[in-house]
Amino acid sequence: MLRPHLPATALTLLLGLLSSACATNASDQARPVPTASIVTPTTTTDLADKPDNQPTTSTPTSMTEAPPAEEGAGNTQDDVESGSGEGRDVEANTTVDDQYTGLDEPATSTMTPTTVAGRLADGSGDSMTGEHDTDGEEADPRPAFRTAVPTGTVVDGHYADPRGGIYEAFQAGFDRNHPFQSLETFCLPTPPPEDDPVDVEPGISAEAVTIVHLHTRLEELERIGFAAPVGEVDAMVRTFVDIVNGECGGIHGRRLDLRTVDVSALGGGGFDIDTLREAACLEAVEAHRAVAVLAVEAVPGTAAQCLTRTHRTSFIAIRGISDRDLGRAGGLLLALEPGDRTSLRLAVSTAAARGVLTGATIGIVTPDAPQRSDDVVEVLLEALAERDLAATVHQLGCEGTTTCRVGMETAVAGMLEAGVDLIFPLLDRTTLPWLVLEMIDQGMPAPTFVQSGLDGQGLDAVASEVAEFGGPPAGTYYDGTWILDGSATGSHRQDGFESRPFDDLCNRELGRVAGHDPAVVDDPSDDVYRTVVEACSLVRAVARAVYDAGPNPSRLAIQVNLVALGNLDAVDMRPVTSMDGSLTVQVSRYEYPCLHGPGFGASAGCVFPMTDPVPVS
C-alpha cells in the first residue's frame, strides 16, 4: 500500500502546523512538515545507455546524438535520464523509422521571418490574435479536431494503467469510493450532516468555505504579440466548483464560496510585478479571508511566501514554486510539479550525464527579479561547480515587469565575445523569444538551449511561442532544445499512448456542464485539454480536504487534511502526492519542425518526450 494516510502521519502534520502557527517569527521559524516519499523510486541506470527515441534537426549538430552517460551517476539527481522507469515494456519502444512511418508531413508556419527591429517597427505585436478570436463575437467552443487516441480502461473503479510498475501501485493507493476520488464522475453526492453547520471562524461560515483562485490575466499577453491558447482558466475553475455546490450538494452542508483575484501577467502601470502579486495575496487573505488559495497558472515571485509564511494560508499550485518556499511553508504550500531549484539541478545532471555539457562554454541568462537572480542562479552555479564547470551570467533588466529586455543587446554581445555555445535561459515566456531574435540579429551561432520547465518552458503552449513570435528562423534556431520538467507535455505523441481516465473525465464533465464537446488530448491547435485537467485537479484536491476535515472544520483541520491527502489525481495520472509533489520527470526535446505529428498552435514545432517518465526520489 503506497498511501501513508495514517493517524500517525496526520498527527505529525498537525503538530508541525501548530508549531509553525505559534512561532514568534514565522518567516524564520516556519519549518517543513516531516514527510516521506510514498513511491519508491525505480532503478534509473539504464536510460543513459538507451539511445534517444528520435533525432533532431537542430542547427547545432553536436547535440543531435546523445553521447554515452557519465559513469558513476549513483543517485536520481545525477542520473534521472539514465533509466526509463518501470511501467512501459521494452517491446513498446520503437525504432526511429517506426515512429516516422505513417506520419503526415509536418505543418509549415505561415509566419514570415522577422527581426527585433522589424517587429517593433511594424507593430505586429499589437495585432496578433489567437486562432479562436472572433472580433468580439463569442467563439465556437467546440474543437474542430477529432482525436484518434484510444482511451484508458477503468476496471472496478480503478484505472488499469498499462505503464505498470509504480503507476499500478500508485493507482492502487486511491479510494475510488470516496466522493472526490471517483473516475466515473467529478464528485458524488454526500448525505447532509446530522447537525446544522455553524459559523466556525472567518472564511468558514455556516453556509460556505471561502477559497480563492489567483487568476493570471493571460489576455494581457495578446496585447504584446503573444498567444495563450489555454482557454478561459477562471471559468474552468468556477465550473468545477459549481459541480461541487450544485450536482453534489456541497460538502457537509456547506458550499465552496469561490472568489477570483486577478494577477497581472506582465506587471507595469507604475508597480513592479512582485508588488502586484503581494497585493493579490493581501486581497485573498484580508479582503476574502480565504481558507485555501489555488493557482492553475504559475504565480512565481513573492506570492507564495506572502500567503503561506506571512498569512498562514494554504496555497496549492501546479508549477512556478521555489523549493525554498516549499521548505519554509510548514506544510501550507503544495505544488504538483517539482520546485524550481530541484528542476534546475535535475536539468544540469541530465545534461551532464548525456554529455551535453562536455566541452561546452556555458552561459546563463537571467532577469533581475530578486528570486530568480539570487535563488535560482545560485543553485544553478552550484550544480555546475559540483561537476567542475563554470558559467558566465548575463542579466537582463525587467523594470518591474515579466518582459525583460533592458541590456539584451549587451548580454548577447557578451555571450558572443565569451564564445558561449550552451545556454540556460532562466526567462519568462515573453522574454525568451526576444532573446532568440537578438541572438539571430547579432549572428550568434545557434547554441544548445537547456530548459528545466521554469516558467512553463516545457509546455507546448509556451515553447511554441519562440517560433510563433519570431517566425521560422527563430523556430529553427531553437530546435533541439533539451527540456527536463514534471509535465506530461507531448506524451500523446509517443507510440502506444492512451488518454487517461481522469483527464478525460475532467474534460467530459466540463464540456457537459458548459454545453460543448470536450477538448481532446491530441488537438494541436490549443492546450485547453491540459489546462482543464489542472483546474479539475486543484478544485478536487481542495474539496477532498474540506470533506475529510469533517463537519464544522477549523481552518487548521482543513490545512492538515490538504497536506495529508496523499495520492492526487493530476495530468496524465502520473504519481503526484500532497506531501512530495510530482514524483516523476521527463526528458524532452523541442522539434522544429515537429517530427511526430503536426506542429502546435500556429507554429510547425512541438515538444517530444525522449524518455518515459522517470521517478524522482
Helix H, strand E, coil C: the string for 151-207 is ECCEECCEECCCCCHHHHHHHHCCCCCCCCCCCCCCCCCCCCCCCCCCCCECCECCC
Give the per-residue pLDDT at 144.
Answer: 53
* Number of alpha carbons in the 13 Å side-chain half-sphere of residue 310: 12
Residue 551, preceding peptide bond in cis (omega within 30° of 0): no
Whether the pLDDT of residue 105 is over 50: the answer is no
Whether the pLDDT of residue 12 is over 80: the answer is no
Q: Which range is most confident: 360-374, 392-406, 449-463, 534-548?
A: 534-548
Whether the pLDDT of residue 374 is over 50: the answer is yes
Confidence of residue 66 (pLDDT cuts 50, 70, 90): very low
Q: How far apart are CA 211 and CA 199, in angstroms?
A: 16
> What single-letter DSSP state applies at residue 327?
H
Residue range 120-164, pLDDT digits in tens: 344 433 333 333 333 333 344 444 566 778 999 999 999 999 998
Confidence of residue 441 (pLDDT cuts 50, 70, 90): very high
Q: What are phi and psi of 401, to 5 degrees?
A: -115, 180
Write out the three cell numbers for 14. 498537525
Confidence of residue 371 (pLDDT cuts 50, 70, 90): low
Q: What are phi and psi of 318, to 5 degrees?
A: -90, -55
Question: To the nearest whole number, what is the mean pLDDT of the chain?
Answer: 81
Give the per-residue pLDDT at 147.
Answer: 76
Sketch out the chain's domains with CATH numbers: 7-42+170-176+189-337+494-576 (3.40.50.2300), 116-132+342-492+587-615 (3.40.50.2300)
DSSP string, 414-479: HHHHHT--EEEE---TTTHHHHHHHHHHTTPPP-EEEE-SGGGTTSHHHHTHHHHHH-HHHHHHHT
Q: How far apart are CA 426 and CA 423, in angstroms?
A: 9
- 340-353 vs 377-385: helix axis angle to the nearest 10? 30
Confidence of residue 218 (pLDDT cuts 50, 70, 90): very high
Decide: 170 and 145 in contact? Cβ < 8 Å. Answer: no
Whether the pLDDT of residue 97 is over 60: the answer is no
Give the per-residue pLDDT at 142.
Answer: 43
DSSP string, 520-558: -TT-TT--HHHHHHHHHHHHHHHHHHHHHT-SS--HHHH
Per-residue exposure over 155-165, b if at least 16 CB sit within 10 Å of its own CB, e if not: eeeebebbbeb
Q: 406: buried, middle or exposed (CB in 10 Å: 19+, 13-18, 0-12)?
A: middle
Q: How far apart are CA 510 and CA 210, in angstroms?
A: 22
Whether the pLDDT of residue 282 is over 90: the answer is yes
Mean pLDDT of 32-51: 35
Give the per-residue pLDDT at 79.
Answer: 39
Give the per-residue pLDDT at 124.
Answer: 39
Q: Rounded to two decimals, what is the model's pTM?
A: 0.80
DSSP string, 555-599: HHHHHHHHHTT-B---GGG--EETTTEE-EEEEEEEESS-SSSSP
Mean pLDDT of 435-464: 96
Q: List all residues 6 or more positions away from 1 whose beta carbon is below 8 Å from its beta carbon.
A: 172, 173
Mean pLDDT of 107-120: 37
Amino acid symbol at 20 = S
